[in-house]
Amino acid sequence: MDSYKDSYKIALKAITEIESFALGEEVVTPIGRGIIISLTMPANGLYLSPERADVIVWFSTAESTNGWVQHEFYLRDISKTEENEESKRLKEACAVATTITERIIKEFKGGKGEMCPSCGIHNIIHEYRTEDDICNAPTGLYEIYWISGGSSLAGIGIADDGDRWIAPIDWPSTGLLSNHIGSIKYMMLLQRKLND
């Protein structure tokens, strides 16, 4: 029985040492960029073979490379894509929004019109209901009320190109506010920096 436990530990260690990928992830292959549509790890019932794990990557008809629309590769032959500048900027913006949100929730004790002495954020409650108002909303912390129901706390900021990004704390990433207008019933500004 102990040999089975040992083989499990050995297999688990081997699996954690290989790079992790997910279905739907864009990857770089020896013949170009594509999207993972299948992941398989050989096993014979007693042992796993992570070193022989393979993936099927789809390139699409428009992006087919060397005549391949999809192709099978060993996991060791693919790699993660480098993040483009836009993705990096959005992740950084999300991190900033999350930090501000957590700080406000933890430290802000004042009511309407008061300022938190530690972070300099001013509490101004205002609703934005029209598409134009939402698109031009100032940066800050909002309660977003969704047409589908429910609400989310979200940071809204302005990107270098002037577009507004939205970073709800219950989303895994940020997005452009203009792409989500149709989903928003209204927004309530909870916190805003005094210099905005």
Whether residue 31 is found in the same domain as residue 59: yes
The pLDDT value recorded for residue 47 is: 72
Return the pLDDT at 88: 66
- 69 lies in the same domain as 124: no
For residue 52, the domain's CATH number is: 2.40.10.170
pLDDT at 64: 61
Residue ranges with strand state E in the chain: 26-29, 32-40, 54-58, 70-74, 79-80, 121-122, 126-128, 140-146, 151-158, 164-168, 175-176, 184-193
Question: At CA 64, angle to CA 63 and CA 68, rounded to 5?
Answer: 160
Q: Residues in the chain with pLDDT < 70?
A: 1-6, 45-46, 63-67, 83-89, 97-125, 193-196
- pLDDT at position 83 is 63
Q: Which domain holds residue 184?
A: 85-193
Of the candidates 66, 87, 79, which has an alpha carbon nearest to the alpha carbon of residue 25? 79
The pLDDT score that the predictor gives to residue 158 is 85
Residues 185 and 92 in one domain: yes
48 in the same domain as 106: no
Q: What is the pLDDT of residue 81?
A: 79
Q: DSSP characters for 69-97?
A: SEEEEEGGG-EEPPPPHHHHHHHHHHHHH
Task: Kindly state whether residues 55 and 96 are assigned to the same domain.
Answer: no
Number of domains in the chain: 2
